[in-house]
Structure 1
Amino acid sequence: MNRPQDHSRGTIVFDLDGTLVDSVPDLAGSLDSLMADKGLEAIGIAAARKLIGHGIPNLVRGALALRGVDWDDGQGAADIKRFTDIYAQRVSRETRPYADVEQTLSLLAQDGWRMAVCTNKMERYAKTIIRDLGLDAYFPVIAGPDTFGFGKPDPRHLLETAKAVGADGPVIFVGDSEVDIATAKAAGVPIVALSYGYSKAPLASLLPDALVDRFADLPAGLNRILAQSVPGQGQAKTRCK
């Protein structure tokens, strides 16, 4: 595995779920176990995919709403705790990197990019996934909503992550969802959106600075953004194939 170099071309901050890895099987399986505990019908992968992106509390709340369960703060807290206990036992059992992720990260590292992860998954789970999938050499900083005390779409989550990795030069965010695009725009940071992830809306309609269909196309998307005269302002939209 190629290791990151000491020089820096800039900083790429990545979302995790739906961007670097497909975590739906483990999240859906954990939700289904929680539903079974409560005597409710399973959620399944397709429905779980639509709930991902806003952190575990919202994931659990959304799943219960699908099963007609009115939210109660006391019982809800217990359900969230039960879900986290279940998920901790299978966090990387079926979660896998998307195609070309490791090869592309290696190329980016050799090209001099610093890299970090900014995710609404709790930091300990994100670190476990990155480590278990053999990607930890690329990410000296992996920040969840518990790392700095706020999560996406709060722009501070992205900005503090970039600061923690020692951002030098341009900062570009890479994500797959409405939440990621909103976070980048609020932070004034350009974003490359990946079309294959967990977005609930057509990403082109949200005006990312570049839109790519494969992770292997990410370097082309980054270069398009760097070539723009005013990056991050949402004026020049490109799609790389």
Structure 2
Amino acid sequence: MARIIFDLDGTLIDSAPDIHGIANGLLAEEGAEPITLEDARNFIGQGASVFVEKMRRARNIPDSEHPRLLADFIESYDDAVHLTRPYLGVVEALEALAFEGHAMGVCTNKPIRPTRAVLAHLGLDRFFSTTWGGDSLSVHKPDPAPLHAAFAALPEGQCIYVGDSEVDAETAERAGVPFLLFEGGYRKMPVEKLPHARSFGHFGDLPGIVSETCA
């Protein structure tokens, strides 16, 4: 059996519409122009602070405003669940993996409180024995420490990391574990440019790929 750790945003769930809404609410309060949904997708992946930094720079908001905007962003984040949806086939794939006896967890750069909130809202929390957010440790991905911690919290087995982005690919490479790349999500580079063991475009293919990786 395997220990499978998943990234969250852009891998299991499309959370960009909710995050986009938070960002534009903050920008409206600043009298700034909104960002696009595509902007929001491009800004996601390295945690809340980096998202707010990219949002500010896109609208020329001074660095001095960062702590205040970050605090406001995080305060709104817990309730950012209403437009977020799992990707097609995610629930069925998780059910199949759980039935096969694999242990599963989440390692994301999203802060831990909104991570737990959205997993509970979508009913996905039942699949995961351990959950690590971007603020669970003093470092976050692509530092491999959170991923190592997530694997260590699960029973012994083949380590597999599933993600969608450049950050995820680097994290897996630094952790020395096989990386399964979801071809949807918020990736900016072509699939062939990212180091990965296997890639897949639909979650229906994931259980079979996991079985082959464990063989």
Per the normalisation by structure 2, the TM-score is 0.96
- CA shift for structure 1 position 12: 0.3
| CA deviation map 1:124-149 (0-9, x unaligned) | 11111111101111112110022232
Q: Which residue of 2 aligns with 1:14?
A: 6
- Distance in 1 of aligned mates of 2:134 and 2:76: 20
Matched, 1:174 2:162: yes
Q: Identify the residue that residue 146 of structure 2 maps to in structure 1.
A: 157
The number of residue pairs the alignment matches comes to 215
Secondary structure at the counterpart of residue 40 of structure 1: coil
Structure 1 residue 215, shift from structure 2 partner: 1.2
**In the alignment, structure 1 residue 127 sits paired with structure 2 residue 116:** yes
1:141-152 equivalent positions in 2, closer than 5 A: 141-152=130-141
Q: Retained in 1: the 8 A contact 2:2–2:214? A: no
Contact 1:171 1:190 in 2 (8 A): yes
Q: More displaced, 217-226 or 114-123? A: 217-226
Q: How far does residue 226 in structure 1 lie from its aligned partner after superposition? A: 2.8
Identity of aligned pairs, percent?
Answer: 38
TM-score by length of 1: 0.86
Matched position secondary structure for 1:148? coil
**Higher relative contact order structure (alpha carbons within 8 Å, sequence separation ≥ 6):** 2
- In the TM superposition, residue 80 of structure 1 has moved relative to its aligned partner by 0.4
Aligned equivalent of 1:217: 205
Matched AA of 2:68? A
How far is the alpha carbon of 1:68 from its aligned partner?
Answer: 2.2
Whether 2:92 is the aligned partner of 1:100: answer no
Partner Cα separation in structure 1 for residue 77 and residue 147 of structure 2:
25
Q: Tell me which residue corresponds to 1:193.
A: 181
Q: Do the aligned partners of 2:107 and 2:132 also contact (CA within 8 Å) in 1? A: yes
Unpaired runs of 5+ residues, structure 2, are: none
1:46 match: 38
Match of 1:81 in 2: 71
Q: CA RMSD in A?
A: 1.1
Distance 1:112 1:58 in 2: 36
Cα distance in 2 between the residues matched to 1:86 and 1:124: 11
Is 1:204 equivalent to 2:189 in the alignment? no
Preserved CA contact (<8 Å) 2:180 2:198? yes
**Structure 1 spans left out of the alignment, 5+ residues:** 1-8, 228-241
In 2, are the aligned partners of 1:148 and 1:160 still within 8 Å (CA)?
A: no
Which residue in 2 is equivalent to 1:67? 59
Deviations 1:202-225 (A, max 9, x none): 122112110100111112322333
Q: Which residue of 2 aligns with 1:112?
A: 101
Judged with a 3 Å threshold, the aligned counterparts in structure 2 of structure 1 residues 184 and 167 are, in CA distance, closer, same or farther, namely farther
- Kindly indicate whether residue 18 of structure 2 is the aligned counterpart of residue 26 of structure 1: yes
Counterpart CA distance in 2 for 1:119 and 1:163 is: 16
Which entry has the higher C-alpha Rg, 1 or 2? 1
